[in-house]
Structure 1
Amino acid sequence: MSTSKTESKGIMNRFLDVIEKSGNKLPDPVVIFISLCGIILFASFLAGITGLSAKNPADGKVVHAVNLLTPDGFVKILTKAVENFAAFPPLGLVLVVMLGVGLAEKTGYFETVMKSTIEKAPKKIIIPVIILVGILGNSAGDAAPIVLPPIAAMVFIRLGYHPIAGLVMAYAAALGGFSASLLIGMTDALMVAFTEPATKLIDGTVKVNAAMNYYFLSASTVLLLIVAWYITTKITIPRFGSYQDPEASSNSNDDITPQERKAMHLANLSLLLSLLLFAALAIPQNGLLRNAETGSLIENSPLMAGIVPIITLLFLIPGLVYGFVAGTMKSTKQFASMLGESMSTMGPFIVIVFFAAQMLAYFSWSNLGTIIAIKGAEALQGQNGVVLILGIIILSASINMLIGSASAKWAILAPILIPMLMLLGFHPAFTQVIYRVGDSITNPITPMMPYLPLLLSYAQRYQKDVGLGTLIAALMPYSIGFAIFWSILVVIWYLLGIPVGPGGPIHLEG
Structure 2
Amino acid sequence: MAQTSSPPEPALDRPRSGVLAAFLNFVERLGNLLPHPVTLFALFALGVVVVSAVAAHFGLEVDDIRSPERGGSPDGKIRVVSLLTADGLRRISTGLVTNFTSFAPLGTVLVALLGVGVAERSGLLSAGIRALVLAAPRRLLTPTIIFAAVLSNTASEMGYVVLVPLAAVIYHSVGRHPFLGLAAAFAGVSGGYSANLLIGTVDPLLAGITTEAAAIVDGAYASGGPKEVLATANWYFMAVSTFLITIVGTLVTEKVVAPWLGDYDESRAEDGALDASRGGLQELTAPEKKGLKLSAIALVVLAIGLALLTLPEGAPLRDPKFLSNPEAAANATFVEKIRPALKSVVALIFVFFIVPAVVFGRVTGTMRTDRDVIDGMSKAMASMGLYLVLVFFAAQFVAFFKWTNLGLILAVEGADLIRSFSLEGPVIFLPFILLCCFVNLMLGSASAQWAITAPIFVPMLMLSGYTPQVIQAAYRIGDSTTNIITPMMSYFGLILAFATRYDKKLGIGTIIATMLPYSAAFLVGWVALFYLWVFVLGFPVGPGTELYLAR
Question: Which amino acid counterpart does residue 466 of structure 2 have in structure 1?
Answer: F
Instruction: Verify: 1:147 aligned to 2:154, yes or no.
Output: no
Question: Which amino acid counterpart does residue 490 of structure 2 have in structure 1?
Answer: P
State the distance in 2 between where 1:92 and 1:124 align. Answer: 36
5+ residue gaps, structure 1, are none
Conserved 8 A contact 1:291-1:302: yes
1:252/1:117 CA distance change after superposition, 3 Å: closer
State the distance in 1 between where 2:280 and 2:148 align. Answer: 30
1:298 Cα offset (Å): 3.0
Conserved 8 A contact 1:138-1:187: no
Work out which of the residue numbers 353, 365, 380 in structure 2 matches 1:342: 380
Question: Which amino acid counterpart does residue 467 of structure 2 have in structure 1?
Answer: H
Conserved 8 A contact 1:207-1:503: no
Displaced runs of 4 or more, over 4 A: 244-253
Conserved 8 A contact 1:141-1:186: no
1:146 Cα offset (Å): 2.0
State the distance in 2 between where 1:252 and 1:179 align. Answer: 35
Aligned residue number for residue 28 of structure 2: 20
State the distance in 2 between where 1:249 and 1:58 align. Answer: 50
1:270/1:368 CA distance change after superposition, 3 Å: same
Aligned residue number for residue 235 of structure 1: 256
Work out which of the residue numbers 424, 428, 438 in structure 2 matches 1:384: 424
State the distance in 2 between where 1:6 and 1:354 align. Answer: 33
State the distance in 2 between where 1:207 and 1:189 align. Answer: 11
Deviations 1:175-201 (A, max 9, x none): 000000000110101111211111111
Moved more, 492-501 or 185-194: 492-501
Moved more, 23-32 or 141-150: 141-150
Conserved 8 A contact 1:422-1:428: yes
Instruction: Verify: 1:409 aligned to 2:417, yes or no.
Output: no
Work out which of the residue numbers 115, 121, 134 in structure 2 matches 1:100: 115
Map residues 82-481 of structure 1 onto 2, 5 A cutoff.
82-205=97-220, 206-243=227-264, 245=266, 247=275, 254-294=282-322, 297-299=334-336, 301-381=339-419, 382-481=422-521
State the distance in 2 between where 1:63 and 1:104 align. Answer: 49
Deviations 1:302-351 (A, max 9, x none): 21221210122111221111111111111111111111111111111011
Conserved 8 A contact 2:120-2:276: no
1:431 Cα offset (Å): 0.6
State the distance in 1 between where 2:248 and 2:237 align. Answer: 16
Name the TM-score, length of structure 2 as normaliser: 0.89
1:108 Cα offset (Å): 1.2
Conserved 8 A contact 1:160-1:242: no
1:6 Cα offset (Å): 3.8
Instruction: Verify: 1:74 aligned to 2:89, yes or no.
Output: yes
Question: Which amino acid counterpart does residue 185 of structure 2 have in structure 1?
Answer: A
Moved more, 130-139 or 492-501: 492-501
1:133/1:71 CA distance change after superposition, 3 Å: same
5+ residue gaps, structure 2, are 1-9, 68-74, 221-226, 267-273, 323-328
1:108/1:244 CA distance change after superposition, 3 Å: farther
Aligned residue number for residue 499 of structure 1: 540
Question: Identity, % of aligned pairs?
Answer: 39
Conserved 8 A contact 1:24-1:468: yes
1:223/1:243 CA distance change after superposition, 3 Å: same
State the distance in 2 between where 1:444 and 1:399 align. Answer: 14
1:364 Cα offset (Å): 0.7
1:253 Cα offset (Å): 8.0
1:110 Cα offset (Å): 1.4
1:223 Cα offset (Å): 0.7
State the distance in 2 between where 1:483 and 1:156 align. Answer: 26
Deviations 1:98-118 (A, max 9, x none): 111121122111111111122
Aligned residue number for residue 66 of structure 2: 58
Deviations 1:150-205 (A, max 9, x none): 10001001121111111111111100000000001101011112111111111122
State the distance in 1 between where 2:258 and 2:236 align. Answer: 32
Conserved 8 A contact 2:56-2:82: yes
1:242 Cα offset (Å): 2.6
State the distance in 2 between where 1:168 and 1:498 align. Answer: 32
Deviations 1:224-258 (A, max 9, x none): 10000001111222222233557599857812100
Conserved 8 A contact 1:389-1:491: no
State the distance in 1 between where 2:172 and 2:280 align. Answer: 13
Question: Which amino acid counterpart does residue 485 of structure 1 have in structure 2?
Answer: G
1:393/1:256 CA distance change after superposition, 3 Å: same
Deviations 1:336-375 (A, max 9, x none): 1111111111111011101101101111111111111111
State the distance in 2 between where 1:156 and 1:58 align. Answer: 46
1:142/1:509 CA distance change after superposition, 3 Å: farther
1:160/1:253 CA distance change after superposition, 3 Å: closer
Conserved 8 A contact 1:161-1:241: no
Q: Secondary structure at the match of 1:179?
A: coil
How many residue pairs are counted as aligned between the two chains? 509
Q: Secondary structure at the match of 2:62?
A: strand
Question: Which amino acid counterpart does residue 262 of structure 1 have in structure 2?
Answer: K
Q: Secondary structure at the match of 1:425?
A: coil
Q: Secondary structure at the match of 1:54?
A: strand
